[in-house]
Structure 1
Amino acid sequence: MESVVSKHNFEELLDKHHLKKTGPRLKVLSMMASKNTATSQPDLESVMSDIDRVTLYRILNAFEKKGIIHKVFDLNGTANYAMCHSNCEEHHHHDEHLHFNCTICKNVYCLDDLNLPPLKLPDGFKMEGFTLYANGTCPKCAGAIAK
């Protein structure tokens, strides 16, 4: 799961998307890039007590709008956010991959490496994107169950 951040530093990423390089933005990017799962705003709030809720909300919205992160929902309908690939752009995400919800640990994983077949829609339909979800047990939880 290689994200845009692994290829660029955070300041360059903000420059690319014409966003100011602020401490809170850099901290959110660092936290999100360090995780291998999607994360919710409440989870981010719990580890970033120095960033208030409104500021965090605005950062997440700006990052999603600019194509830096994408929104994916967990089994409870809570919005989670994950880093986008470098081919995402403002108002147009290209994160058409499987999102896996673990029913035990409740983590949401972006499974980017799966080769999904192209979708052929009936005449008259124009796709702007899609979201594909699966649920079950992640490898970590499956290993814990087996022990």
Structure 2
Amino acid sequence: MDTQTTEKRLKSRNIQPTAMRLLVLDFLIRNRSAVSLSDLEESFDRSDRTTLYRTLKTFLEHGLVHQIHDESGTAKYALCAEDCTCSYPDDLHLHFYCLSCENTFCFPEMGIPQFNLPENFTPSHGNFVISGQCPSCPASSLQ
């Protein structure tokens, strides 16, 4: 994706474009699966963890990414659709965690069922993850 388009995407979420934010957004766009802070650290070896964390936090606060908690025990981040408002339950969707390669995939077109919670329970966000085997991993690698 070209820099102008990436800048426009940041500005559409009221995020000031900086060199690091542009690089991280481009990285998220190019990845098929959700990424963790550690994934970013490995890819941006000249950047410090704090800068990368603050970039992700800014993206999260402005609804550019959403956070996923899967079986890996590490928070992962995936790019939101351009029309996403990150509102519960409207933008809640299915995630798939591969037990073999440990990648997490978003399926925004697959909403989750509506739940009727008991009285006095007020949800603000949710996380729906199914675990199993992705098509890139051999079936024999599951334990």
Shorter-chain TM range is: 0.7 to 0.9
CA distance in 2, matches of 1:116, 1:59: 29
Matched, 1:39 2:35: yes
CA distance in 2, matches of 1:35, 1:74: 17
2:115 counterpart residue number: 119
**Aligned to 1:131, which of 127, 131, 136?**
127
1:97 counterpart residue number: 93
1:87 counterpart residue number: 84
After superposition, where does 1:61-72 map in structure 2 within 5 Å? Answer: 61-72=57-68
CA distance in 1, matches of 2:128, 2:17: 33
> Residue 133 of structure 1 aligns to a residue in which SS?
strand
Provide closer, same or farther for how the CA distance between residues 45 and 135 of structure 1 changes in structure 2, counting only shifts above 3 A.
same
Deviations 1:30-66 (A, max 9, x none): 0001111001111111111232211111100000011
> Residue 113 of structure 1 aligns to a residue in which SS?
strand
Contact kept, 8 Å, 2:67 with 2:75, in 1: the verdict is yes
Contact kept, 8 Å, 1:70 with 1:95, in 2: the verdict is no
2:6 counterpart residue number: 10
Post-superposition shift, 1:102?
0.5
CA distance in 1, matches of 2:51, 2:95: 27
Code of the aligned partner of 2:106: C
CA distance in 2, matches of 1:76, 1:107: 9
The share of aligned pairs that are identical, in percent, is 34
> Residue 141 of structure 1 aligns to a residue in which SS?
coil
Unpaired runs of at least 5, structure 1: none
- Give the paired residue count: 137
> Residue 66 of structure 2 aligns to a residue in which SS?
strand
Deviations 1:59-110 (A, max 9, x none): 0000001110111123231011101122225xx5654111111110010111
Code of the aligned partner of 1:114: M
> Residue 110 of structure 2 aligns to a residue in which SS?
coil
CA distance in 1, matches of 2:71, 2:55: 24
Provide closer, same or farther for how the CA distance between residues 22 and 115 of structure 1 changes in structure 2, counting only shifts above 3 A.
closer
